[in-house]
Amino acid sequence: MGTVMMTLDWTAHNAPHTMVADTAQDDFEATLKPLWLRAQAGDEGAYRQALEHMAARVRAFLRRRLQSLPDEVEDLVQETLLALHLQRATYDPQWPVSAWMLAIARHKLVDLWRRRGRHEAWLDPLDEVDEEALASPLVDGHARRDLGALLDELPPAQREAIVLTKVEGLSVAEAAARTGASESAIKVQVHRGLKRLATLVRTVSKG
């Protein structure tokens, strides 16, 4: 009986918070999906607005999960935005845009933990969502050409640092050894390069 009462008390206490969170998520999706569908149809203004909404939500998502690594948040936000741009053709309108977006953000987070040799099992799966279907690997030739074109816009040092650490998957230490640069220099070039790529993604033509 005591256990039942405790469960009822917990439910009564937490139900309003759950309802608020669900409502906020529904409001976010209601705002984002029309923008994203217009963006997919070639509306550049809608695309920029959608990316701004996505960046804010992804930033909040990552901050909650990287409290021990706050310096990693902004680079991972930019990586996620780049991946969203490159994988935009994989979006299926039957899925909520926010679920597709967070699946990609989660993949980037898992990649970060793997690079650091950390176990990612603590990450919560997205509710009732096939993440593999939502965030499929980049095997599409157009996506690879898009990435190559974006990387070509970067200064050589930034391009090399990003290719080594984000494409080839080397650690910062390995990239530093490969190039002869210091680890701090590699980190700076990656950070600047990702910011530049995010800017390019926001301004690139959707046609």
Domains of the chain: total? 2
Note whether 127 and 194 are same-domain residues: no
Can you give the residue range of the structural domain that contains 194? Answer: 138-207
The C-alpha atoms of residue 54 and residue 67 are separated, in whole angstroms, by: 20
Evaluated on CA atoms 177, 181, 187, 191, the torsion sign reads negative
* Percentage of the chain exceeding pLDDT 70: 72
Structural contact between residues 201 and 51, judged by C-beta atoms closer than 8 angstroms: yes
Residue after which a domain boundary falls, among 137, 156, 175: 137
Question: What pLDDT is stored for residue 22 in this prediction?
Answer: 57
Average pLDDT over residues 120-147: 49
Structural contact between residues 53 and 31, judged by C-beta atoms closer than 8 angstroms: yes
Note whether 119 and 164 are same-domain residues: no
Evaluated on CA atoms 102, 172, 163, 196, the torsion sign reads positive
Average pLDDT over residues 67-93: 88
Place 100 in a pLDDT band, splitting at 50, 70 and 90: very high
Question: What pLDDT is stored for residue 62 in this prediction?
Answer: 93
> Position 1: which residue type?
M
Residue after which a domain boundary falls, among 137, 163, 180: 137
Q: What is the CATH number of the domain that holds 198?
A: 1.10.10.10
Question: What pLDDT is stored for residue 7 in this prediction?
Answer: 47
Residue after which a domain boundary falls, among 81, 102, 137: 137
Note whether 127 and 143 are same-domain residues: no
Q: Which residue has the higher pLDDT, 120 or 43?
A: 43
Q: Which residue has the higher pLDDT, 184 or 140?
A: 184
